Chain A
Amino acid sequence: MILQVDDIEVLYEQVILAVRNVSLAVGEGQVVALLGANGAGKSTSLKAIAGLVRAERGEVVRGRILYQGEEVTRRAPQALAARGLVQVLEGRHCFAHLSVEENLLAGAFARPRVSRAQLREELERIYAWFPRLKTRRRSLAGYTSGGEQQMVAIGRALISRPRLVLLDEPSMGLAPQIVEEIFEIVAALNREEGVSFLIAEQNIEVALRHAHHAYVLESGRVVDQGPAQEIARREDLHAFYLGGQAAQG
C-alpha cells in the first residue's frame, strides 16, 4: 500500500465537521477513484492527506494517515511533496501571472537540489506528455484555456516525479472531449511511469472507466467501495449524486 487512511475526522475552524469517518487505501501503481456529491468530503479528504487542510484552518482531529508505511498525519505539505506525494487542487489553481513554463518549473521546488540540466530534461518530459503546453510555454497561465490549465496543474505536479498524485475534480468545467484526453494521459502515466493516483470526481462514468478501485463518499463517510468495474454496475450509484440520500445523512 502506498497510502492508507485510517478512520480520519477533519474539522474546519474547530467546529465545522467536513469529514467524519473516512478510511481508504491506494495500492502501489493503482488508480483509485473517490466518488461523491458536492460537499461529501472528497476535497477535504484529499487535502487532509496532502497536509493542506491546515492552510485553510482545518485539522485532522482523529485517525491516522500512512504514506509508504510511515505515519504522516499532520505532516507539512512541503515535506510530503519532497517524498513524492503531491496534490492537484480543485479548480486547477495555476499561477495566473506566471507563464506556463514558469508554472511547471515551480512544481520542481518539491525536490530540492535539482540542477538546471535536470530541470530542462524534466520540462521536456512534461512537454512530451502534454505537447500542447509546449506551444503555449510563454503565455501567462491565466490566459490559457481551462483544459490547458488543467494540463499545467497536472504537469506542475508531475515535474517532481511524484509516486502518488491526488487529483481533485480534474473534469471540472471542461468539455467531455478534453476530460477524456486528460484521463487518457493519467491512465498512460499510471501504466508507463507507475505513478499512483487518487482521483476525486463527480463524473463517475469517466472516473470508473479509468480506475482500478473506487470509494463512494456521502456526508463525510465512506458508504461503499469495491473494484471499479463492480461499482460501475451498481444501479443505486446515481442516487448519491442526485443528493437524495445525502440529504438524510
Chain B
Amino acid sequence: MEFFFEVLIGGLLAGVMYSLVAIGFVLIYKASGVFNFAQGAMVLFAALTFVSLLERGVPFWAAFAVTLALMVALALLIERAVLRPLVNRSPITLFMATLGLSYVIEGAAQALWGAQVHGLELGISDEPLELGGLLLSQFDLFAAATAAVLVIALSLLFNRTRIGLALRAVADDPLAAQAVGVRLQRVWAVVWAVAGFVGLVAGLLWGARLGVQFSLSLVVLKALPVLIIGGFTSVSGAIVGGLLVGASEKLAEVYLGPWIGGGLENWFPYVLALLFLLVRPAGLFGERAIERV
C-alpha cells in the first residue's frame, strides 16, 4: 500500500510539471481563442536564455530578471508584428501564425545561444525526502509549491485587477469588449507577456529536470492531453488535468506495464484524452456557454 501511495503522489507531483506548461496555453486561449503552438518554443527560449546568462557569470536573480524582461519584450513584439496585422482573422489563421512563430522563436533562440545541451542547476537537490513514511522527490515538491504560488498569483491578477477584468471581458465576448472600449491589443500584449513568464517558470523547472535543449519545446505535446482533460479555458482545469495525467500515467506504468508491456506512460495520457473527448469534449472545467431558455 505504501508503494501505491508513493507512485500516486510521485505521479501527482510529476503532473504539476505538465500543468505548468498547460497554464501558458490556457491564458492565451482564453484571451484570444487561439491555441498557441509557440508556447513550447517560448519555454525553450526562456530556459536557453536563462541558462546561457548563468553560464556567462550573471547571478541567478539578475539572469531571471533579464530573461523575464526579454520574454515581455518578445510578447510585445509578437503582438505588434504578428497578432495586430492578423486581428479579426479566423482562429485557424492565427493558429497557423503561431505554428510559424514557434519555428522562428526556436530558430532565434538557437541562433542566439547555440544548439548544445546545457545542464541547469537550480540548487534544489533531486534526492528523495522521507515524509510520513513515503519517499518523495524534493524537486517535485518544490515544483508543486511553485505551481501553487503561480496559480494564486494568476487568480489574483484575473479577479482583483482592472487588467484582469478587461481580460475576462475579452475572453467572454470580444466584440462587446471592443464595443465598450477595451483595448484588445493591450490585453493580448499582457496575456502574451504573462504566458511568457509562465513559460520562463516552466522552462526553468523542465530545464533542470531534462537539461536545456531543443527537445524542451516538445513539452507542448505533453500539455495537450492535460488541456483536453482539464479544459482549454480554465487555469484550475489545467492543474487538475495535469494531476490526472501525471497520476494515471505513473500508475498505469507500474500496474499495467507488466501486463501489456512497458513504455506505457508515453501514450497512456493520449488514450485518456481521447476518452475524455468522447465523453466530455469541453473538459472537466471547460467553460460551457451559459444559455437561458
User: Which A positions have Cβ atoms within 8 angstroms of B?
Assistant: 50, 52, 54-57, 77-78, 81-82, 86-89, 93-98, 102, 105-107, 109-111, 140, 142-143, 146, 153, 156-157, 160
Contact = CB atoms under 8 A, between A and B. Distances in A.
Contacts of B165: 98, 102, 105-106
Interface in B128-186: 162, 165-166, 168-169, 172-184
Contact of B175 (A86, A93, A97): A93
A136 B183 CA distance: 27
Contacts of A142: 290, 292
Given A57-B88, A89-B175, A95-B177, 5 more contacts: A86-B181, A93-B179, A95-B172, A97-B290, A106-B169
Nearest to A119: B162
B287 interface: yes
A89 B172 contact: no
A157 B180 contact: yes
B178 A55 contact: yes
Contacts of A54: 88
A18 to B, nearest CB: 16
Which among B177, B184, B287 has the greatest number of chain A C-beta atoms within 10 A? Answer: B177
Contact of A77 (B178, B290, B292): B178
A110 B180 contact: yes
Contacts of A57: 88
Contacts of A110: 180-181
A73 B243 CA distance: 51
A98 B168 contact: yes
Majority-rule SS of B interface residues: helix
A52 B88 CA distance: 10
Contacts of A87: 179
Contact of A107 (B168, B180, B183, B290): B180
Contact of B180 (A56, A102, A106): A106
B88 A55 contact: yes
Contact of B290 (A81, A140, A146, A156): A140
A170 B165 CA distance: 25
Closest 9 CB pairs of A and B: A81-B181, A110-B181, A142-B290, A93-B176, A95-B172, A106-B169, A96-B290, A107-B180, A109-B182
Contact of B169 (A52, A95, A111): A95
A140 B288 CA distance: 14
Contact of B172 (A86, A96, A156): A96
B289 interface: yes
B172 A81 contact: no
A95 B181 contact: no
Contacts of A55: 88, 174-175, 178
22 contacts: A52-B178, A55-B175, A55-B178, A77-B178, A77-B179, A86-B179, A87-B179, A89-B175, A89-B179, A93-B173, A95-B168, A95-B169, A95-B173, A95-B177, A96-B290, A106-B177, A107-B181, A109-B183, A140-B290, A143-B290, A156-B180, A160-B180
